[in-house]
Structure formats: structure tokens, C-alpha cells
Amino acid sequence: MNKKIVLVTGGSSGLGYELAKKHVLLGDNVCVLGRSEERLKEAATNLQTLSTDGSVLSEVCNVADEESVKRVFSLLAEEGYRLSVVYNVAGVGRYSEPENVTKQMIDELLEANFIGLIVVSTQVLPLMKDNGGTIVNVMSSAAKKANPFETVYCGVKWGARGYTEALAAALKGSPIRVLAVYPGGMNTPFWCEESGLNPDVSKFMQPDEVAEAIISSVADRNSLKVTELSIDRK
């Protein structure tokens, strides 16, 4: 396997799409994952029109399903691709007063924001152990501070942060790098009706600028590496 490829979960919209877009413009091979086949096909078609230097692949995948993730990685290996960067971006927001939290809300937040991040990270480790690579876990500023009406969301993100820091400690000295990213609010479809909040996103950060900051931190440098990145609006 000698063709490098960048993989982006939640790559059909929002920050995930912008990360994929910037890598395509850099001439990289890119694979975007998501649950909606229709949105993925549209995203992949739009991405491929941006450059012919690299290939754009898309696969329907539930990142919280171990077999689904294994299937995607097997397909990439069969095509001769080697994963160089994996962006764990997929996630959802579910907010409410603490007394209105439901089991369904807990399950949705855990699956999309925590379990999927762990499953993808775990499955990519054997694939990066020889040639190295970078795992980028995109979480939220909610992983570092408590917010009203975000009790479960904060709890899940704090868990993701704990896992990411422990993973980085376990991989210290290995060729695999872990980058933890904590962005604040962005103007993306994340703030859907199902989220339970309806903020004025016009004042939030733009996902293309956030993507630019993240990719800059992923870039190889001779004397340093970025291990943690917090991004907030002005």
C-alpha cells in the first residue's frame, strides 16, 4: 500500500466537509464517511470537481458500529490506500434542561460523539503502527467547561477528552500522533431542530476557517508538533 488517503467522519457537511474540501484542494486522496447515502454522494461529487489530483471516495458508515468501520477500512486497503490522517468529526448535539434528559438523548449523544470516536480510533491503530499517521479527534469547547442545558453533552465530550488524552499517553513514542481539537460554536447544520437549541449562528465561527486552523496544526514540522488545539471566535 503506497497511496496515502485522508479519512473524514461526518464528511458530508459542516466542518467535516470543509476539512475534506481543503485536503482535496491540496491534491490529497480523501474518503468521507456519513450515514446519509444521498448527502454523501452529493458531497463527493462536489469535492471531486475541485481537483483531479486526488481521488474522492465516499462510504456510508455508522462509526459506532465496529463491523461498519472495519468494512470501510478493508475496502480502502483493497484499493491500495494507506491512512495518513483520520479526522473524527462526526457528532450530534442534544440539549435540554437536566430534568428533561431522556434515555434516547443519552444513547444518541454517546453513540455519535463518544463510541464512534473510540471505535474509529481503535480500528485505525493497527493500520498506522508501521508507517505512522495522525488521529484528529474533533470534540468541542464543551469538553473543557460546563454549560447550562448541556449536562449530557458536556459529560459525553468530557469522556471523549479523557479517552483522547489517555490514547495520546499510550501512543507516546510511537509513530502515531494524536491531536485533540476543541472548537467553539460554528455556523453549521449541527444546530438542527433536533438539537434542542436555536442560537444565532450568524455570529459563530465559519467552518472553513476552523478547518484551515486544524489542517495547519496537522502539518508536519521539523521541531514541533501540535497536540491540542482550542479554537474560539473573536
Reply yes or no on whether the pLDDT at 157 is more than 60: yes
Reply yes or no on whether the pLDDT at 1 is more than 60: no
Reply yes or no on whether the pLDDT at 193 is more than 70: no
Angle at 102 between CA 100 and CA 97, to 5 degrees: 25
As to burial, measured by CB atoms within 10 angstroms (0-12 exposed, 13-18 middle, 19+ buried), residue 74 is exposed
Residue whose grid cell is 434542561:
97
At residue 154, φ and ψ (nearest 5 deg) are -65, -45
Which three-class secondary structure state does DSSP give residue 90? coil
Work out the average pLDDT over 135-163: 94
Work out the average pLDDT over 184-190: 85
Reply yes or no on whether the pLDDT at 101 is more than 80: yes
Reply yes or no on whether the pLDDT at 37 is more than 90: yes
Strands laid side by side in the 228-231 sheet: 56-60, 30-34, 3-9, 81-88, 133-138, 176-183, 228-231
- List, in sequence order, the alpha helices (H) in the chain: 14-25, 37-48, 66-78, 103-110, 116-128, 151-170, 207-218
Decide if 165 contacts 158 (C-beta within 8 A): no
Reply yes or no on whether the pLDDT at 194 is more than 80: no
Work out the average pLDDT over 194-214: 86
Please, what's the b/e burial string for 113-123 (b: 16 or more CB within 10 A of its CB; e: otherwise)? bbbbbbbbbeb
Give the CATH superfamily of 3-231. NAD(P)-binding Rossmann-like Domain (3.40.50.720)
Angle 207-218/14-25 helices, nearest 10 degrees? 60
How is the chain split into domains, by residue range? 3-231
Cβ neighbours around 173 below 10 Å, total: 6
Reply yes or no on whether the pLDDT at 203 is more than 80: yes
Reply yes or no on whether the pLDDT at 81 is more than 60: yes
